[in-house]
Amino acid sequence: MNLLDVSNVVAGYGETEILHGVSVTVEQGEIVTIIGPNGSGKSTLLKAIIGLVQTKQGQVSFRGEDITGMAPDLIVRKGICYVPQSSNVFSSLTIHENLEMGAFVRTDDYRHRIAEAYDLFPDLAERPNERAGRLSGGQRQMLALARALMLDPILLLLDEPSAGLAPNMVSLVLDKILGINRTGVAMLLLEQNAHEALKLSNRGYVLASGQNQIEDRGENLLGNPEVARLYLGG
């Protein structure tokens, strides 16, 4: 049984249909990357999975349970966390307060989870009282990842985590993503640095015009000349 099973999903905004029958799977512990041109429906797919966009047809299943149309807060409680590309931290709150906000649905003592987040992101541990709005783009992205981890997710949905970052920060953020994955957290990743993301990935999908185009292992997509020409700058 797949951890996540998106089957023939049709979704969009109002009368505008963006996804035209998209299917994606993620197995336990995998990193799966979705690449494709701007406007291909990649972000809409993540929002449909987490319940922020209405699924008009098709099904989204998580751990064998149909979660299609379920409210986002209920989906989060089941073990899926979504990190959007922007507006993913509370700028007016401190780093520590952001982590506390990340644990908003927990009813247990989550202080150990904050300690683990600081261990994983030592740059954040050095300045817990710094307001998030004063952080660099890379630091904000690491805070967004740390905040998502406060709920002990089974699956992370990551929308362009390295967008707009300097090259050295891109490498650092992707390295942190790989480190999180090694703890057993599965990832469904959208990434503009497709070449670097596919090197980390077990599998990948090419999405274009709201439809599946290619599915293969990450290494095979890297070696596919057509994929390289269209999406990898090669």
Give the CATH number, domain containing residue 210: 3.40.50.300
What number is the average pLDDT over the span 45-71?
A: 97
- Alpha-carbon distance values, 63 to 25, 66, 181, 188 (Å): 11, 9, 18, 15
Q: Over the chain, what is the mean pLDDT? A: 92
C-alpha distances in Å from residue 114, one per residue of 125, 145, 186 = 10, 12, 20
Q: What is the DSSP letter of 14?
A: T
Does residue 184 lie in a domain region? yes
Residue type at 71? A
Domain containing 179 equals 4-88+151-231
- How many folded domains does the chain comprise? 1
Q: How confident is the model at residue 191 (pLDDT cuts 50, 70, 90)?
A: confident
Q: In the beta sheet, which residues pair with residue 6? A: 24, 60
Q: For residue 192, what pLDDT band results from cuts at 50, 70 and 90?
A: confident
In a domain, 48, yes or no: yes
Q: Is residue 110 a part of any domain in this protein?
A: no
Per-residue pLDDT at 164:
81
Give the predicted TM-score (pTM) of the model.
0.92
Q: What share of the chain is helix, strand, coil (3-state, %, to 5)?
A: 35, 30, 35
Which of 30, 79, 87, 17 is CA-nearest to residue 50? 79
Which range is least confidently modeled, 1-15, 67-81, 87-101, 106-120? 106-120
The whole-number average pLDDT for the span 22-44 is 95
**DSSP strands (E only) in 123-220:** 155-159, 186-190, 203-208, 211-217
Say whether pLDDT at 93 is over 70: yes
Grade residue 234 by pLDDT with cuts at 50, 70 and 90. low
Work out the average pLDDT over 202-231: 91
Sign (positive/negative) of CA torsion 184, 190, 193, 196?
A: positive
pLDDT attached to residue 45: 97
Of the candidates 160, 152, 159, the one whose C-alpha atom is nearest the C-alpha of residue 185 is: 152
Q: Is residue 173 part of a domain?
A: yes
In a domain, residue 122? The reply is no
Segment 111-137 shows an average pLDDT of 93
Looking at per-residue confidence, does 155 or 165 come out higher?
A: 155
Asked whether 60 and 9 are in contact (CB, 8 A), the reply is yes
Contact 34, 204 (CB under 8 A): yes
CA angle at 156 for the pair 10 and 36, rounded to the nearest 5°: 50
Does the residue 113 lie in any domain?
Answer: no
The answer to the question of residue 58 being in a domain is yes
- Asked whether residue 130 is domain-assigned, the answer is no
